[in-house]
């Protein structure tokens, strides 16, 4: 991989694509040439990068000649169609969708957890995990290293921006309508999201779990290399703009204490403890929005399972849960 690379972003005008640009600039990523790609509707727009305006081009199968690294954030169907074309043209594809995550020939990577996986990529594609999975595992991995993870029981509290810009718009419009005494219209969600929570993220499966809930189990097993990891998850949409929160009980192979758990986080990159309940210090979505680190708090011994802890993890799902993680993978290369 050359030191100064030709990098492309497919889906550059979306929220994650724009966040990728911010991460690349803030982390001084060695970009020699930047190609921004999107649908024909967005072609011709410009986006700022390092003091210049870069014109967005239409994404086609021929967009990747000479590209060294291609970051994809344009949805699973787009990745499935154009990702192999980019890889075939010689680019290492880092894909943010679910299209390739469970492909055995595609590594699923969180750089703070399994960076070595990025070295072997038969299809020249690396997958970014689901945002909720990333936030959860960032909070759990330091504990897993110390005590050996056996099971997770989790509930997620997921921001409306996880549904894209339209999720934010619907929340804002509903709040305004209700304040004015009008009916809240529903287009994005099956129920009113304003002043409400909805235990339904992604499509329900035959098991009565949603796809989002099963991602935590399936992706967690692949990333951690624990084929029999037991996971029960309930994913909930909440009226928060940005950053996902996860409440979980994690059971371990070895005995664990609050003190030893705290020590496991000492110096670990990408995770920070905010845990002093007596002073009302614990992570909230506003604390992580626009920030790189995932925050961990409310650590306590579980009252049901042996060798188990209850804890609360919060992370910006647009940044660490998507854009930043992709850029960090590119840095590994």
Distance CA 270, CA 179 (A): 39
CA distance 35 to 41: 17
Residue 235 annotated in active site: no
**H or E, element range at 224:** helix 211-224
Question: What is the three-state SS of 269-330?
Answer: CCEEECCEHHHCECCCHHHHCCCCCEEEEEEEECCCCCCEEEEEEEECCCHHHHHHHHHHHH
What span, in angstroms and rounded, lies between the C-alpha atoms of 128 and 199? 24
Distance between CA atoms of residues 300 and 144, nearest Å: 16
244 catalytic? Reply is: yes
What sign results for the dihedral spanned by CA atoms 322, 323, 328, 329? positive
Q: Which of the following is catalytic: 23, 144, 233, 244?
A: 244
The span from the CA of 71 to the CA of 54, in Å, is: 16
Catalytic residue among 131, 233, 235, 294: 131
3-class state of residue 88 by DSSP: helix
Q: From the centroid of its chain, how far is CA 248?
A: 17
Residue positions annotated with a catalytic role: 131, 244
């Amino acid at each position: 991989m050359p030191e100064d690379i030709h990098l492309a972003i497919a889906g550059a005008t979306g929220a994650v694509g724009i966040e990728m640009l911010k991460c690349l600039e803030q982390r001084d990523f060695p970009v020699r040439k930047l190609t921004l790609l999107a649908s024909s509707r967005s072609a011709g727009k410009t986006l700022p990068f390092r003091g210049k305006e870069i014109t967005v081009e239409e994404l086609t199968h021929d967009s990747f000649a000479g590209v060294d690294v291609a970051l994809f954030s344009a949805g699973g169907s787009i990745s499935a169609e154009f990702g192999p074309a980019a890889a075939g043209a010689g680019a290492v594809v880092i894909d943010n969708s679910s299209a390739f995550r469970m492909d055995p020939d595609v590594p699923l990577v969180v750089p703070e957890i399994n960076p070595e996986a990025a070295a072997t990529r038969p299809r020249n594609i690396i997958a970014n995990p689901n945002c909720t999975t990333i936030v959860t595992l960032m909070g759990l991995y330091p504990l897993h290293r110390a005590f050996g993870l056996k099971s997770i029981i989790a509930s997620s509290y997921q921001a409306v921006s996880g549904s894209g810009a339209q999720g934010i718009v619907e929340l804002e419009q509903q709040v305004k309508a209700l304040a004015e005494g009008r009916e809240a219209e529903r287009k994005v969600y099956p129920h009113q999201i304003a002043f409400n929570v909805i235990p339904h993220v992604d499509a329900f499966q035959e098991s009565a779990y949603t796809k989002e809930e099963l991602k935590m189990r399936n992706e967690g097993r692949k990333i951690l290399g624990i084929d029999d990891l037991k996971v029960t998850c309930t994913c909930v949409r909440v009226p928060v703009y940005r950053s996902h929160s996860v409440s979980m009980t994690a059971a371990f192979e070895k005995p664990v204490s609050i003190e030893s758990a705290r020590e496991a986080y000492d110096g670990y990159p990408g995770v920070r403890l905010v845990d002093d309940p007596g002073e009302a210090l614990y992570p909230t979505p506003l604390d992580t929005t626009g920030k790189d680190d995932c925050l961990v708090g409310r650590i306590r011994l579980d009252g049901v399972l042996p060798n188990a802890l209850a804890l609360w993890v919060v992370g910006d799902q647009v940044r660490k849960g998507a854009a930043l993680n992709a850029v960090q993978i590119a840095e590994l290369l």
